[in-house]
Each structure stands twice: as structure tokens, then as C-alpha cells.
Structure 1
Amino acid sequence: MASNELLSNNLNRSQFMKKLQLSGFIVKQDALNVFESEFRCGNSYESIDDFVSQLLTVFAKIDFQDYVVDITLAQEAVNELRKARDEIEAKSSSETIIKNIIPHSFTTMSNDFKFQYEHLVQSLKRLPVFESGQFTLMTIDDLNTYESNVPIKSIVFALIRKDPSKIMQFILEDPTGTIPATFSSKIVWKEWATFENAIYLIEGSYEGQRDSFVMTTIGLNPPIQSIFPEPINDCQQIERDASDPMIVIISEIYLNEPETLKALRILFNGYNESIAPDFFILIGNFSSITLSENEIKANMNKLERLIVSFPNIKSNSKFILVPGPDEPTESTFFIKKCFTTGYFIRSAINISFATNPFYLLIKKRSLMVIANRMIERYLNNLINSKCNLNSDPNLLDRDSIKNLFESIARLSIANAHLTSGIDRNYSSVLSLLPKIPDLILLSDNHLCKNSHCQPFDRNSKYATTTSFSRDSFQFLVYYVQSNELEESQIFLK
């Protein structure tokens, strides 16, 4: 059985459960859903037998009460599998791995949300304020079964979305159910910007007979502690040196425009005569207009000929080509498939083709790169902000862009998901679990300025890069070990 074989098939589910039962384990339905999601997305499993074998190795390290695998134990086991997989990848001889994102069937989306939610809520419950009993989290089901007309104060951890049947009313949702909700006239907004289709900690009161939850405070959960790399103390701060791998990131490169090719020539020449970067990440779109396949190949051939003309970077730099949101490659949900070798005439350069988004693992650092019109999507899902935001990103002032960007960064890292706040289907292939990347890089052509921040004062950064061709040939340089970003620009005479 190949690794893309589906556990959701009844026969495969039966085989999977039977193999674990033969080893003395009983798997609950919720746990089975978690394993199903991992099997679909974990591209390292050759077969169900291989998956079960790896699970049993992990189970041997877990203290079981009665050999019943519930959702909590399933999540723990999956995290151990992913951790072991990342450690193996980090020890690979090249120490550099490109991980393409492979979309899976939409039939698992509800399970994906449940897995994401349960992982977050389990971490939340381990916080001292909840573990001590000072505060108690209630589920939506707890509220739905409360029938008294006396309002009960409660804290819920739930996804918030608009009620399509009612104006200015919302629905709170967790894996146990849904409930109608409204905002108090004195609501406290903890975040500068709040979005629907995102998971928040919400305080309020619920009256059973009116079936109405009135929200009084809404804010983000603290980020999961265990998924961050160890913070670097000031005295241990890695100083940048010549051995620090350098990555040049260039986005929206219009190869059909002579000025862009001229700027690229200057950029390549500068690095060719000094230190060749370890990587060039070249992100689309690669044309300002819609082109035929032959025209795209002609443009890519221009790029290839340009690179070949600089022997230092041709020999010592690796190039990663990432399709932009409008490239003619196949797409599913938020994922664009990679270019094929057919777009290039010869293999004279060291080039890799990545999906959009993709991961780059290098020197124990993890980068995620995505090119999409995310800012516009977030604005369409905005529930509240500390100032009135125009729905057109191009009309936002500098301060609004900065605050909006930081709110998006905080949400993505707190919810540990790339599309939190955009889409309620929390696809597991876009999850940032179990370890938040050291750098999440968003290429969005609605932005006119490069930005980056560390929203929770930790090593993980969220950054944006703007258009090379439309915004005065700006680009980014990332130093891997020191985890530093630099803005740079080419000036044409």
C-alpha cells in the first residue's frame, strides 16, 4: 500500500484497528481520526504496517492506564512521530530539505479542525490559571445543556464566525457544537484586529432559556510553549559570520519586463563578485500579464540564461522557484503545485521546484514561504479593529498596515495555523504544528513595504516581502543561524 492510501476506507480502518488490537491497544474514534489525518499528510509512511510499526515504537514510551488510545494520547503520539521525523531530516547529510505541501481530500477537513483545536485546548488547559482551577474552560456542549434563565459567566475557547441568517450576530463553534453569540455593548477587544474563522478565548455570560451567549472579552490564547525553539539568551546570541547561510528572497519578478531583467542582472552581478548566497528563493508571479505556456517557457529561459552568465552564483548558489498565485500551475485550496522541469531548456543550474506554500529546513531552522493575497482575505473577514480599516489594502495608511500585519502574525502563531482567520476549514497540511517555523514569509502583492515582527517575543518571526518589479526592486536577505532579516534594494541609473 502506498503512502497516499486512504485510511478513511472502511477496510483500511479495520486493518489499522485490528493491527493495533493484536498489540493490545484499543483506539477510540476521535483518536482514529487523528491517526487518519497524520497518515494522509505524513509523507514518510510507506504503508499501514509501517505507520503501525512507528506508532508502536512511540507507544512504548507512553504511560498507558489501560491501553486505551484516546484523542489526547493520539495527539501525543503524532507529535512524537513528527518530532522524530524532523530530527531525522535535520541530521541528513545536506542539512537542507525542501518540503513541498501536498493537498489532501476535503473530506477530512472537519477532522483537521478537531485535531487543531484539541491540540491548542490541551495546551491551554495546562496553563497555571486553568490547571489550578482559578478559571474553568467550558465547552459549547456545556452551555447547550444549561437550561436555567439565570445567566452563567463562562470562558470558552471557540472559533467565531458570522451567522449567515442574522445581521450582526455570530456563532461560536468548538468540536462539541455551536451556539449563537452577540457582543456586549462594553466588550473588551484584547487584539488590535479580530477576525472571523479564528479561534479565540472568549469571556461572557450565557442564558439557557434565551439560548444567547453575550461576549464581554475576546482575545487570543497564549502560543503553545512546546512548539517554539529554545529562546537564545543574550549572552548566547549567535553572531553573524561568514559561515552563516544566506538566503536571498525575491518576489514577483516580471520576466516579461526589460527593467526587471536589468535589475536582476545588477543583483546577480553584485553577488557574483562577492559572496554567493546559499539560496535564491524566487517567488512568482513571473509575468505582469497572462502568457501562453510557450511564452512562459521563453521567459524562464531568459532567467536561466541570465543565471548561467554568472559563474560564481551558478556554481555555488541553489535556486528555488516558487509559483505565484496567478501562475498556470494546478492549485487546490491555498496550495499551488510546483513548476515542472519542462519550463527549462537545460539543467545547467542547481534549481529546485517548490509548491506554494513550502517549507525549507536548513541548519535546524525551519522556514515557511507562501505567496497569496492574504491581506485582502483578512480584511474581508475583519470583525473589529482599533481603527476603521478600508477593505482595499492599497488604501491603508502605514500605521494601519503595521498594526494589521502584527495582528495577523499573532493570530497565525497563536492558532498555529497558516489560514486561521481566513477559512474555517483548518486543513492539516497548512497547520504549523508541532513546531512553529522560525520564519513565516508571506509574499502579498497588495503590500508596498517589507515588514517583519516577532509577535510573542520569541525566535519565531513573521515577515512579508513586497513586489520586486512593482516596488522599486526591493528584496530580502535572510541569515539563517542568526535568524536575521535585512531589506535591500537595487537602484537603476
Structure 2
Amino acid sequence: MENERLIKTVQTAFKLSGLNINRKCCLHLARQLRNIDAAEHEHWICRIVEYVLAQDLVEPCVSVDHIKVALKECLRPSNSLQETETILNVLDGFRVPKIKYDVTNKKFVIEQSVPNLFSEPVDKSLVIKERLELLWHRTMQNELFAPVKFGEVDTVRVKLRQIEYLLSLSEAKDVYVIGMLAQLTERQYYLEDASGYVKIDLSQADYQAHLITEGCVVLVRGDYEDRVLVVKTIGFPPSETSTESRARFGTANTFGGHHPVSLKTSEKLRNFEENNPDEMIVFISELWVDDQIVLEKLKLMLEEFSNFPPVAFVICGNFLSFPPNVTSSQKLKEGFKRLADIIAGYPEIVQNSKFVLIPGPHDPGAPRIFPRAPIPGYVVEDFIKAIPKTVLATNPCRIQYCTKEIVVFREDILTKLCRNTLYLPDDADIPKDYAKSIISQSHLTPMALPTVPIYWKHDQALQLYPTPDLIVVADQFEPYNTEYNECFVVNPGVFSKNDFPFKVYIPGENKIEDSEMEKEDQS
């Protein structure tokens, strides 16, 4: 009788939380609760329900496995982390979840990725379509562009039009349109969306954003006449903060990794982060392992960090000082062995720091298509033997440290953007403009696909929605540190040149420090 009463209590608790639980699961849970004082049953059942809900179920049906996981978490010490609550995790670019807008259900959804380099022709169209849809529906939820509700009078809001609306008219004044810039015929730009395309005249345009290139999604205001949209103003769609974006997903994990819910919601990780305010992540780009002077500079840097080892050294290529040739693999193998010998001289760093290696444009291995596969294992096998905490990462890759989300990308992207931009004034702040561009476009390379080749099935690896806390773009451009819409965008600079610059990120304080090894230290 007592057992039946307990089973009924379990069923009621799960039903009140919107979950379906069968009798087998109830019996399993009731057996586990027999050794607990009856007065505490209700408290334990509530905790188990919370842990089941935290598993981010696809359907509201509870299985015995869900109950076992929940019981395991309940018995875990209160100050310990769950198995998937990692302090530092480097995420594979080929397994980044895709965020897309579900037109049928009228909401943003998350799709898990499976590595697949073999695409169908339709996948190329989907890349452009999904970029457009994401930015269109994100803009439609902005208070300036949101549809007016029935019976509501609002003279401030702006009505966005699709291109098919313009094509149905002979003329229209002062219309707002979102579309992708395309050069369908030589030296003639068009604006296109899923409904059609229209020729545009940019001769009178006021550029409200810089670094606008072919392949960008832009917000245009202008007059439509004689089948041409005469542009008055052109800029990027309004961006939004990470907090605003995440409100649409609840606790769902949009960043990637094994944890079923977003680690930004983990109180244990937040407490760990706050209790370790001095933890650091060091970012280095262009570390030439075949250059003795560069290795000596790195040794001096490691000496400085030896007493307080960072959580990780994130090192981006290129790893050789010369363009690729037949000797590259052997030189790289020898250079990494010398690098391992230097790092091995600092046992505290070897024991406490991870070394994340990200390939550069000229490093051997995979073709220059993003996301790019890691450095081949055989090249760094001696390095990994000496430094066990080595991670061979894709380019780009994602790094999660406690509740902070970091995206690292190695590509000389600013040169390409400046070369292809429609308008760039002399007084442009290029780093700031780039930060605005990628965050507004929610993409690391908002350009035409021929300019920056991407695996069509893995465009989400370069997606920036919701916006992370830190974006590291390792570029040949001079070092910079800028912020836009509550997100840091930084470039460590070329370590092997000038004053050997690098960046230090302090997650506990959410702060970036500029660092360098001065020239006069050279021996």
C-alpha cells in the first residue's frame, strides 16, 4: 500500500512538470526511495524531476535511463561538477550545432551537426537561404521592425518589404528591404532574397556601415522606380546582444559540446569562475617553430608564466616562416619537437596548461576550405608525447571556459574584406568596422562563397548566433582589441614579427590584456 502511494506521488510530480512517466520508471524510482525517510520523499522527487528536466529531453517521455542519470546527479556532492560541466572544453568546428529559423513553427531551432564534406548542389543554395532567413527573422523581432499588433497604432515602427513586393509594383517610395548583395552581371549589383532579385543603384547611397561586400546581407532604404531600387541608405541589419538572442532558446545549448543545456546557466561553473579570478588564457598567432629567435622569445614568455600557469595557450599558425613546399612537413615535425623540449623545461606549465594548436592558411594538411581540419597528427606526434595536454583543433574552433564562450578563427580576413568592400573612407576604424560587420551578420566571413570557400554542410561552424563573449580573429593585421555589442573582438597580432605581441584573456574579470615581448630582449 505504501509502495502504491509512493508510485502515485511520483506520477503526480512528473505530470505536473509536463512529463510522461510509465509504471516501470515509477517502480524503479520507488525502490531507490525506500531507504530514505518518508518525510523527505517529496523533496527528493522534486530534485529528481529537476535533473530530468535539465537533460533537455527531445520528447516529454521519461525512460529508466533518464531516472538513473538524475539519481546519479542527486547523489553527487553539491559542490562537484557534473560529468559534462567542463571547466575548459575545445569544440570541433565540424560538430557545431546549426541555428536556423523554422518557418513552419515560427521559431529558431537547433540542429545537431554530423561531419560530412560531401554536399549536394542544393546545399549551396541552403547556405545563402539560411543566412538570409536568420537575419530577416532576427530583424523582424527588433522593436523598430516588429509587426504592429491588431488594433495597435504605431507611427515609429518601420515595415520591411520583401523583393517580390517591389516587383509587383511600378514604383514605391521610401521602402525598406533586407537582402543579400549579389553581382549577377559584371559591375552591376542586385539585391536578392528568397522571393526574387532587383537591380539597385548605389550612386546616391549613404553608407551607414563600412566593409559592405558582395555576399553581405544588408538593410536598404530607397525608392523603387523603373524596375530599379535607387538606394538612399545602406547598412547592416540591427544586431542584438547575446542575452537577447538566448532568451529565444531558454536553457538549450546553442554553443556546442556534450552538456544538454547551456553552461552559461551553470551556477557551479559561475562560482568556480568567480573563485578563480586570476585564471588566464593566452592567445598567440604565427608562432614559427623553425625560427630560433621566435622560440627564444617564447621561452622568455613561458618563464614569466611558469609560476602562474595559464589554463591554456591557444596557438595559431602559420607555424613555419616560409611558404609551403616539399620540406614543410619535415621542418614542421622538427620544429614542434624543439618547441616541446622548451615547454618541457617548465613542469608546472606542462601539468596545468592545455596547448591548443590551430592550423594557419599555409600549414600542411587539409585544403583551405572552412572549417579546416586540424594539423595532421603525425606532424606533432613527438610534441603530443612530451606535452600530453595538447589539443589539435579545427579552424575555426570554439572554446568554452566555465560560462564564457570563445570563438577562435585564423585567417587573413581583413585584407579580403578591405579589398572587396564597396566603400571604405580614409578615416575608417577597420577593426571596429570588422567587429560590427561579423556581429551584425552573425557570421565570421560575411562574403561571397568564392572569396572564402566553405563546406556547404558546415557553414554553421562560422556562425555567430547567439553572439559569444570573445571572438579571436588571428590575422596578419596589426594587433587590436575592440568591443561591439557586449562582445570582445581581438587580434593577437603576428608573434614572430615586430614586438612579439600576444593577448591574455582573464575570464573571471572578462578582460583582455595586451602583451608583448620587446625587441631589446633579443639575444
Q: TM-score, normalised by structure 2?
A: 0.67
Candidates 432, 435, 442, aligned match of 1:406: 432
User: Which of 133-142 and 465-474 deviates more?
Assistant: 133-142
Distance 1:248 1:198 in 2: 32
* Cα deviations by residue, 1:420-463 (Å, 9 ceiling, x for unpaired): 13548786323435421111111112x13x2121122x2x1111
- The answer to whether the 8 A contact 2:212-2:422 is kept is yes
1:90/1:336 CA distance change after superposition, 3 Å: farther
Relative to structure 1, the CA distance from residue 202 to residue 381 in structure 2 (aligned partners, 3 Å threshold; closer, same or farther) is same
> Equivalences for 1:79-478 in 2 at 5 Å?
92-102=84-94, 104-107=117-120, 108-130=123-145, 131-132=147-148, 134-146=157-169, 148=170, 150-165=171-186, 167=187, 169-185=188-204, 187-207=205-225, 210-225=226-241, 226-227=244-245, 242-272=276-306, 274-289=307-322, 290=324, 291-342=327-378, 343-345=380-382, 347-349=385-387, 350-387=389-426, 400=428, 403-421=429-447, 423=449, 428-445=459-476, 447-448=477-478, 450-456=479-485, 458=486, 460-478=487-505
Deviation at 1:305, TM superposition (A): 1.1
Q: State which structure, 1 or 2, has the greater radius of gyration over its C-alpha atoms.
A: 2
Q: Give, in whole Å, the separation in 1 of the partners of 2:57 and 2:342.
A: 49
Q: What is the Cα deviation at residue 194 of structure 1?
A: 2.8
Distance in 1 between the 2:167 and 2:83 partners?
A: 50
Deviation at 1:302, TM superposition (A): 0.7
TM-score (norm 1): 0.71
The one-character-per-residue Cα deviations of 1:51-105 (angstroms, maximum 9, x if unpaired) are xx98953899xxxxxxxxxxxxxxxxxxxxxxxxxxxx99724332211212644
CA deviations 1:360-414 (Å, max 9, x no partner) are 0111111111111101110222101223xxxxxxxxxxx64xx112111111001
* CA contact 2:356–2:391 (8 Å) conserved in 1: yes
How well do the aligned residues superpose, as a CA RMSD in angstroms? Answer: 2.9
Distance 1:120 1:55, change over 3 A: farther
User: Matches of 2:92 and 2:82 in 1, distance apart?
Assistant: 16
**SS in structure 2 opposite 1:329?**
coil
Task: Using the TM superposition, name which of 326-335 and 305-314 deviates more.
Answer: 326-335
Q: Name the amino acid aligned to 1:57.
A: E
- Amino acid paired to 2:124: M
Q: Look up the SS of the partner of 2:437 in the other structure.
A: helix
The question of whether the paired residues in 1 share the 8 Å contact of 2:277 and 2:507 is answered with no
Deviation (angstroms), 1:240: 7.9
Q: Which amino acid aligns with 1:182?
A: D
Q: Is the 8 A contact 1:442 1:464 kept in 2?
A: yes
Distance 1:90 1:455, change over 3 A: farther
What runs of 5+ residues in structure 1 fail to find an aligned partner? 1-52, 61-88, 231-235, 388-398
Check the 8 A contact 1:417/1:431 in 2, yes or no: yes
Structure 1 residues 225-252: Cα deviation after superposition (integer angstroms, max 9, x where no partner): 433699xxxxx9x998754431111110
Distance 1:264 1:433, change over 3 A: closer
Query: Quick one: structure 1 residues 192 and 415, their matched pair in 2 at CA, closer, same or farther if it must change by over 3 Å?
Result: closer
1:366 and 1:438 in contact (8 A); partners too? yes
Indicate if the aligned counterparts of 2:418 and 2:424 stay in contact, CA closer than 8 A.
no
Cα shift at 1:163: 4.0
SS in structure 1 opposite 2:445? coil
Which position in structure 1 is the counterpart of 2:72? none
Q: Is the 8 A contact 2:175 2:223 kept in 1?
A: yes
Q: Percent identity?
A: 23
For 1:252 and 1:380, locate their aligned partners in 2 and report how far apart those are by CA, in whole Å.
22
Distance 1:443 1:300, change over 3 A: same
Mind listing any 5+ residue stretches in structure 2 that lack a counterpart? 1-54, 63-80, 95-115, 149-153, 248-263, 265-269
8 Å CA contact 2:309, 2:349 repeated in 1: yes
CA distance in 1, matches of 2:274, 2:400: 19
Number of residue pairs matched? 382
In structure 2, how many angstroms separate the alpha carbons of the residues matched to 1:127 and 1:468? 41
Which residue in 1 is equivalent to 2:507? 480
For the residues of structure 2 that align with 1:319 and 1:90, how far apart are their CA atoms? Answer: 24
Closer, same or farther: CA 195–275 of 1 in aligned 2, 3 Å: same
Q: Aligned partners of 1:348, 1:94: CA distance in 2, in Å?
A: 24
Question: 1:241/1:486 Cα in 2 relative to 1: closer, same or farther (>3 Å)?
Answer: farther
- How big is the shift at 1:197? 1.5
Q: Residue 367 and residue 213 in structure 1: after superposition, are their counterparts in 2 closer, same or farther (change >3 A)?
A: same
Distance 1:421 1:164 in 2: 17
* Contact 2:409–2:472, Cα closer than 8 Å, also in 1: yes
